[in-house]
Structure 1
């Protein structure tokens, strides 16, 4: 089972302008970020983007000397410099790139400062959610990936990124871009994998479990903790997914792969166990089976009784009478 990261079919946007205010508004809308932009001399921006929701490809021509600052861009952006120069300060990470080189302009977290000097660029844009989902699929002990450098790990990694970008650009900018969800999903996974493999990060590289051999990946442990902490509330798979910045399908995949169950079934097991603890500790003069069932998310007392007996080999009333 694969994650389903495609939010929309490919959509194209474009701006070509030397109007500073119009360009800033376009960039802020495109990247969902508030920018402080400083320009030196006459500047113009030609920006084309093909967006598939969780990933996008871009072509950018920026004349002049432009400095962009923002507290955070909520996506990972990898730039390929065809001409000109780009310099990036990203928290404690710094880097620069010239013609024929790749550079991370954003890791999706933390403040960013990007300086562009008369540059022609191509870019890959990937959501943090997509990267996390792909890491969860490929690495049994994955956490939310954190990048530790802005330049590719090797020259070969840069060549792979370039080949990936060229392939994506040909597919997404064709006169009739693909509308097949399966193809787009596979493409999304490919670009996310290329970025994770191409730039230094803290994911394990040899497939060995983190922490010396923990049985389950960190994201699954976090999902289990979320369910246990919120079992008394009206939560579902969507809430678990949102808390971990994953898709519901990825959460379902992790539970089936590692626990041979579903998140919904696991939540039901936790609620049944909590209800049993309450009945065992309850006072028969105050505690009722119906109230306990309702408190732990079982609106139908009869159905609760059936599940309870199937799980514990006795009825909830027998437990309460102990």
Structure 2
């Protein structure tokens, strides 16, 4: 269960110290050579269970030789340029591009020109949880088959999601909400799986279609209704309904013309509506109620609320008897 987010910072002008720090930060040995005698590197990490978001800036050209990474590292360049090799991939990246740091289980080399970039470090377990198969079955290891995004649109969507999640984690009120932070972890894991080619199965099988029945839908809905206040993932819902993740998506699409998470969002919206309608306007805020029920930004919450109830949430709170 995700409980909090916290930030650490590092700065050094010694290449050996930088190499030791980055080896510890990314869990893999790295040898670093610098084009300058005293390269300045600044590293800021926001950490929470399941993933980290890092902002890094440095003043020299750094050459890395890295051992296999135990995590999935997504690199997004800001002003820096990279030349990265891993396995059969030998690519150069300019400002504004994204890529995976290395193939799973393979070493990598990288030349990083002066400038800024960000990294997102994902625990493989977070990816496996998002792509979990039917309950009781072995979860296969997810392997990425390309280090580059599937398309420019997919890359843009990943960057947008990364910015959104980073902003969320740096908001002290949002970062203190376990439900919001957990939602961020699931979101970044999901968008990573849809951005880079990988071995996770996505199409429903014959068994999935057979399992997508009104009975399994009722089990899924009952679980959502009873656990809306908890950190609920699509994998949790599928397990409660005793079907695969693909069957769960199919049954909601077939019988409700929606998705499991969209249904969960509507249930939470109804709870938020009840909270606003019965709360003391002097003791709570719309933002606090939105965060309590897993809505990551007040603006998005207000738009959903107005669409569902025809009035802004602030009016419901203000008009509370």
Question: TM-score normalized by structure 1?
Answer: 0.60
**Residue 257 of structure 1, aligned match among 209, 233, 242:** 242
Q: 2:203 is paired with a residue of what secondary structure?
A: coil
Match of 1:154?
Answer: 151
Q: Which residue of 2 aligns with 1:21?
A: 16
Q: How does 1:25-40 map to 2 (within 5 A)?
A: 25-40=20-35
1:251: Cα distance to partner? 9.3
2:169 and 2:209 map into 1 onto residues whose CA distance is 40
Q: CA RMSD in A?
A: 3.2
Matches of 2:32 and 2:134 in 1, distance apart? 38
Rounded to whole Å, the distance in 2 between the matches of 1:121 and 1:149 is 20
**Aligned residue in 2 for 1:44:** 40
Q: Which residue of 2 aligns with 1:9?
A: 4
In 1, Cα distance between equivalents of 2:83 and 2:181: 32
Corresponding residue number in structure 2 for 1:106: 102
Q: Look up the match of 2:164.
A: 167
Distance 1:114 1:12 in 2: 26
Matched, 1:145 2:130: no
Name stretches of at least 5 consecutive residues in structure 2 with no aligned partner: 212-233, 245-321
User: Which is further off, 196-205 or 97-106?
Assistant: 196-205
The secondary structure found in structure 2 opposite 1:132 is helix
Structure 1 unmatched runs, 5+: 217-248, 260-322
Q: Which of 52, 56, 66 in structure 1 is aligned with 2:52?
A: 56
> Displacement, 1:94?
3.0
Q: Is the 8 A contact 2:73 2:101 kept in 1?
A: yes
Q: What is the distance in 1 between the residues matched to 2:84 and 2:160?
A: 23
How many Å separate the matches in 2 of 1:25 and 1:100?
Answer: 28
By how many angstroms is 1:141 displaced? 9.5
Equivalent pair of 2:134/2:243 in contact (CA under 8 Å): no
Q: Which residue of 2 aligns with 1:119?
A: 115
